[in-house]
Structure 1
Amino acid sequence: MSQVVTGEAVAIDLRPAQLGSRMIAGLVDLFIQLFVLYSVLVFTLVAVNPQDEALAVAVVIVVYVATMLGYPVIFETFLRGRTVGKMLMKLRVVRDDGGPVRFRHAFVRGLIGAVVERPGALFGLPAVMAMLFSHRSKRLGDLFAGTVVIHEGVPSMAGVVPAVPAPLAGWVVGLDLTGLDDELTGTVRGFLGRVHELSPEAQERIGADLVAQVRAVVTPPPPPGTPGWAYLSAVLAERTRRSYRRLRAVSRARYGPGEIPGVPLHYYPGHLLTPEVLAPPPPPAYVGPQPPGGYPIPGPPSGSPYR
């Protein structure tokens, strides 16, 4: 798991594609490129019928560059970071800030791939070596273009989808989250995602410590009697909601309505503060302390005993 930082300095967790899936996608794309290269080359040589050896070599070079460079550039530009191989493997190229790639990103990636990474006896080796030594599996083209290849269909929350308990919906809207950095956010997310694996003692100890750390940098404090799990979940959900709202606004302004490249459709956090959540709930069979306002905080979700 890796954090992609948007232009608004908001971290969004996305899973970089690993070497295996990228190699499979690359082989699919390579097969298509070689087929197109062979077909176009034969057709061009027959049509041009160059008598001069130098002209024949020039034709081969032009067709090679046009095919090996044009294929990824055209597909990644018009399909917003995808090629045929990437679509099959559910991969997508995005910018380092999580936004969609544009022509210049696709061109740099394609140029480095065609000229540096794949020609001759070093076929693919520079790209593989770069990915092995990069914690986000970046090849040379990604490093120069400022891009990263991610899995589209993988939820980014490490087993937990943050939600705002209904009685805290009004409180989270006014939170000041500027002091909540990426490292602490990731720690909270990891704790909530794996809390069921911890002993009750570890849950209480780690949870109390995280609550204290978050309360030190987030204002205002929660309503009295708010359980620790509810506080952490609400803060995390609100931060996620704001992140996606900003990213989606930028994406809509630049590219029109639609999905955010690199973000699975099922993971859009619009459900975090739906009208049903914002509306006052009926007095159900909730368990937990009674905060001011008359509505009790529900008990922890199934599998998350931390309170």
Structure 2
Amino acid sequence: MSELVTGEAVALELRPAKLPSRAMAVLLDLAAAVTAYVIVTIALVAATSSLDDAAQTALSITAFLLVLVGGPIAVETLSHGRSLGKLACGLRVVRDDGGPIRFRHALVRGLIGVIEILMTFGAGACIASLVSARGRRIGDVFAGTLVVRERVPAAPAVFVPPPPPWLAGRFAELDLSAVPDGLWLAVRQYLTRMGQLDARVRHSMAERLASDVAARTGTPPPYGVPAPAYLAAVLHERQAREARRAFGHGVPGGVVPAGAPGPGMAGGPGMAGPAPVTTPPTQLPSAAPVPPSSLTAPVSPPAASPAAPPAGGPPEAAREASSGGGPGTGFVPPA
């Protein structure tokens, strides 16, 4: 890795391109440029066959400069350091501070590349790359540029080791509100990388981080607990609290049991069910005199057949029942 310092004093870790990948990218660029130069030369010869030899020589030199020199310069300027070969090999030209290149950087690299690549068949560029600590050729040195790799292997997933089982839940009452986020980040980075550290460095860093955490919480670490185990248990407790805060609290695990009534339902947690509605009995109005007009309104006969008059009843009652009238119906038979 190569550490570059930007204008904001930020250190960047970039991976310089090695000689094989750079040589492959240069070969691809040269193949594309030579192909374009041959096509342009054939077109110029066919178009300028009537001109004299001096004019044809001048056009050939112009085509050489435009295609083999100006073409790579224009491509690197417009693509910010990614030519066709570099794009295929996953490379990029950047400044010494890690920023994108501009026209002057591409111009210096292209002009010096004519000498160290085209005229020496790449021998000068290979020797300079082997001598340089970051694999730079002469054009990169004069232009202040560097060829780096853009496609790097993905870093493995970060794994934080869990605390020992006998420390689970031991720091549930510990006040962690005063511990800053920067200290938590340092603890997490230490736990993920402590297997890569030297034994003495690992022990000293664990003791220092444990003392910092204990000073922020106001509670010293338990006697006999190793510093790495103490840090793992405290970090695990903080993560558990964050999970409870994010996914719910008040219910163990933040999950409502299946089948339990939810809010707004009868018997739900924290809410009373709706009380049954009781309607008071309707009081019937007192009897009022029937107006004379309602006495003449016809009443439709019932759907069922009229009941037979009781046997042995008075003839007047039987006659009133057969005529469809009756006492209290409001119907007066005709005279």
Q: Which band: TM-score by shorter chain?
A: 0.5 to 0.7
Separation of aligned partners in 2, 1:136 and 1:107: 21
CA distance 1:59–1:152, shift in 2 (3 Å): same
Superposition deviation, residue 55 in structure 1? 3.3
What does residue 118 of structure 1 align with? 117
Amino acid at match of 1:139: R
Deviation at 1:45, TM superposition (A): 2.7
CA contact (8 A) 2:19 2:135 kept: yes
For residues 53 and 6 of structure 1, the distance between their equivalents in structure 2, rounded to whole angstroms, comes to: 53
Residue 130 of structure 1 corresponds to 128
Report the equivalent of 2:19. 19
**CA RMSD in angstroms, aligned pairs only:** 3.9
Whether the aligned pair in 2 keeps the contact of 1:167 and 1:295 (CA below 8 Å) is no
Residue 153 of structure 1 deviates from its aligned partner by 1.2
Q: Which residue of 1 aligns with 2:78?
A: 78
Partner of 1:57: 57
For 1:288, the equivalent position in structure 2 comes to 233
Question: Are 2:12 and 1:2 aligned?
Answer: no
CA contact (8 A) 1:17 1:149 kept: yes
- CA gap 1:131/1:167 in 2 versus in 1, 3 angstroms: farther
Q: Give the percent of matched residue pairs that are identical in Structure 1 and Structure 2.
A: 39
What is the identity, as a one-letter code, of the residue corresponding to 2:195? H
Q: List per-residue Cα deviations over 1:199-241 (Å, max 9, x = no partner).
A: xxx33x12356789x99xxxxx954379xxxxxxxxxxxxxxx
State how far apart, in whole Å, the 2-side matches of 1:13 and 1:162 are.
Answer: 22
1:120-170 deviation line (CA, Å, top 9, x unaligned) = 3x111111111001111111111111111111011697x68799xx98994
Counterparts in 2 of 1:162 and 1:37: CA distance versus 1, 3 Å: farther
- SS of residue matched to 1:17: coil
The structure carrying a bigger helix percent of its residues is: 1
AA aligned opposite 2:85: G
Indicate the SS of the match to 1:118.
helix
Distance 1:62 1:192 in 2: 63
Partner Cα distance (1:13, 1:51) in 2: 57
Q: Give the whole-Å Cα distance in 1 for the aligned partners of 2:54 and 2:206.
A: 72
Query: How far apart in 2 are the matches of 1:33 and 1:225?
Result: 66
How is 1:76-115 mapped onto 2 (pairs within 5 angstroms)? 76-114=76-114
One-letter amino acid of the counterpart of residue 3, structure 2: Q
Q: How far is 1:60 from its partner?
A: 2.1
Q: Are the structure 2 counterparts of residues 162 and 118 from structure 1 closer, same or farther at C-alpha, using a change threshold of 3 Å?
A: farther
The corresponding residue for 2:214 is 224
Secondary structure at 2:4 match in 1: strand
TM-score for both structures, normalised by structure 1: 0.56
Contact in 2 for aligned 1:160/1:193 (Cα 8 Å) = no
Structure with greater contact order relative to length (CA < 8 Å, sep ≥ 6): 1
CA 1:135–1:162: 2 relative to 1, 3 Å: farther
Paired residue total: 207
- Residues 16-74 of structure 1: CA deviation (Å, up to 9, x unaligned): 01000011111111100100011111212322337544433322222111111222212
What letter matches 2:182 in structure 1? V
Which amino acid is 2:201 matched to?
I
- Residue 112 of structure 1 deviates from its aligned partner by 1.1
Given residue 65 of structure 1, which amino acid in structure 2 is its aligned partner? L
Q: Tell me the SS of whatever aligns to 2:233.
A: coil
Q: Which residue of 2 aligns with 1:172?
A: 182
Structure 2 residue aligned with 1:144: 142
Larger Rg: 2
The equivalent of 1:196 in structure 2 is: 195
Which blocks of at least 5 consecutive residues in structure 1 are unaligned? 176-188, 216-220, 227-285, 299-307
Alpha-carbon separation, structure 1, partners of 2:100 and 2:159? 25
- Unaligned stretches of 5+ residues in structure 2: 161-175, 217-230, 242-335
Match of 2:245 in 1: none
- Structure 2 distance, partners of 1:172, 1:297, is 19
